[in-house]
Amino acid sequence: MSKWREVRLGDVADIIMGQSPKSIYYNNVGEGLKFLQGNRTFGRIYPTYDTYTIKATKIAEKGDILISVRAPVGDINLANTKCCIGRGISAIRSKENNLFLFYNLIYNKKRLKTTENGTTYGSINKGDLENFKIKLPDLETQEKIADVLSSYDKLIENNNKRIKILEETAEEIYKEWFVRMRFPGHKNTKFEKGIPKGWEEVNLGDICNLVRGVSYSTKDIEKGIGIPMLTLKSVNAFGGYNYDGLKYYDGEISDRHYLKKNDLVMAITDMTQDRRVIGQVCLVPMLNYDELTYSADLILLDDLIIEKGYMYSLLRYGGLSKHISMFANGANVLHLNQKTLNRIRFVIAPSKLRKEYEDFHIDIQKEINILEIQNQNLIKQRDLLLPRLMNGTIQVK
């Protein structure tokens, strides 16, 4: 049985505090080094990158642990590439087993982000991290524990790659039919003013009922209990569902604010001026919850009178979400109002063609749902194992 020793984090890891370059060096066209200002694009394990900098200040190497040091403190990811880190992030580089330390810090996340009396930190500094106490087993045990836990994450990542391929297939078919206009029967279709005959122009408000989500205060979500709630972070940049966006809401909910599987929701807020989230949509996946709600940063496209998969694809792949984002306004935070959304006009294909695409999209979505359920079960199993491995309840051989 391995003996665990208590150590200061600063004694077993190098800690690099982020420092932001001047904004004049930022770009979103891929020039320079990938840049993370804070935890905005953190994923379940790895971040995504939508900002670059031609002048790097502080660097995280591939494999480094990334931790949010400004509110919300304690979010943790792994760097999947060399990147520049801003002042909202610290990189932690273990002198022993980095992957074990990653899981160890996840296990200690609650303790890391709160003071001794339970108050949540607004920020933490290098000294706080260096003096943070953790328990470590011998190196061989670290490696074994990391191997066990990472095996689950590798399976999840493989499933995510398969999901991405399926989504790309749906996107390609949509664009072939409805963007490049090579839909079944297109050779025999007449075009009028660039639009196939029989296609119809509609307002968004004519084909669905828009229902904004629940307004909440910090006290409604700070305890981490209650009904699972989709938030702005539940919608990925440029569309799709993000599993890391759920919070738990402990407040009043009206009947119209409950979600069900396959509901279509849109982001109507963006915390930046980049317009990468606002107007974007996701389909509510098959989640293991009896009840589910959504925040006021999102709006539900309820009572759709056209096919949901077609509408989702029109928004995400057909450029409608990007078009809608241009109607957002706000000095610092962008917003879309419901009246504007109701008046958004666009063209839809005839019912027969929509249904052909919908049948295809349903088949794709079924395959995605199977993989998503597998992922949820893998995450549940890993999360049950994690604390038991870290507190010594379960021994690895």
CA distance 20 to 97: 28
Q: Residue 273 belongs to what domain range?
A: 210-337
Considering the domain architecture, whether residues 106 and 223 belong to the same structural domain is answered as: no
DSSP state of 176: I
Q: How far is CA 245 from CA 79, 175, 290, 295, 365, in A?
A: 19, 28, 18, 11, 20
Q: What's the pTM value of the predicted model, to 2 decimals?
A: 0.86
Cα(189)–Cα(202) distance, rounded to whole angstroms?
21
Percent of the chain past pLDDT 70, that is, above it, reads: 98
Cβ-based burial of 231 (10 A; exposed 0-12, middle 13-18, buried ≥19): buried
CATH of residue 273's domain is 3.90.220.20
pLDDT digits (tens, 9 = 90+) for 90-125: 999 999 999 999 999 999 998 988 755 456 678 899
pLDDT per residue as tens digits for the range 234-269: 999 899 998 888 899 999 999 999 999 999 999 999
In a domain, 101, yes or no: yes
What's the rounded Cα separation, in Å, for the pair 188 and 184?
9
Residues 130 and 11 in one domain: yes
How many domains does the structure of the chain reveal?
A: 2
Mean pLDDT of 194-219: 94
Residue 151 lies in a domain: no
Relative to beta strand 89-94, strand 65-68 is antiparallel
Q: Are 170 and 313 in contact (CB under 8 A)?
A: yes
Whether 1 is in a domain gets the answer no
